[in-house]
Amino acid sequence: MFKTIADPADCEVRSVIRFLNAKNVNPAEIHHQLVEIYDENVMTDGMVRKWVRHLNDGRSNVHHEARSGRPSVVNDGLVAKVNEKIRESSRFTIRMFCDEFPKISKTVLHEIVTNRSNYRKLCSSWIPKMLTDVH
């Protein structure tokens, strides 16, 4: 029995596929060996076959390719505007901010307030997570 490896990185599994494919091991056997070492949820047989096809077609990179996605609406200007509104009144709700910034979703506003501006809700007021002499 082999020692199992828990929680492998995706690129690690694809590197093993690349190595075994270079040794002319068929995809079914590659999948069998992956399941034997990692676990049965590591990668499906179909995905192994897909990666073998990619590698046979000339792909050599086993890392994720950069993809174009939706650009982030969060920028320094928006964070500054939200901080200005917070300083005007610490008794606000995210829903009230939705009225002030109608084109920004509640989720994005909440992310700006909690993660970018480092505020958290205490009773009914928003306070900075790390208090300074100014606060």
Domain boundaries, the chain: 10-57, 76-116
Q: What pLDDT, in 10s, does the model give residues 18-60?
A: 999 999 999 999 999 999 999 888 999 999 999 999 999 999 8
pLDDT value of residue 46: 94
Q: Is the per-residue pLDDT at 83 higher than 60? A: yes
Tokens of 14: 């694809």
CATH code assigned to 10-57:
1.10.10
Mean pLDDT for 74-84 is 87
Helix, strand or coil, per DSSP, at residue 21: helix
Mean pLDDT for 101-127 is 81
Q: Is the per-residue pLDDT at 96 higher than 80? A: yes
With helix as H, strand as E and coil as C, how does 69-125 read?
Answer: CCCCCCCHHHHHHHHHHHHHCCCCCHHHHHHHCCCCCHHHHHHHHHHHCCEEEECCE
Mean pLDDT for 110-114 is 87
Mean pLDDT for 1-13 is 85
CA–CA separation, 107 and 129 (whole Å): 19
Q: Is the per-residue pLDDT at 124 higher than 70? A: no
- Under a CB-based contact definition with an 8 Å cutoff, are residues 114 and 83 in contact? no
Q: What percent of the chain has pLDDT over 90?
A: 35
Q: Which has the closest alpha carbon to 113: 134, 70, 84?
A: 84
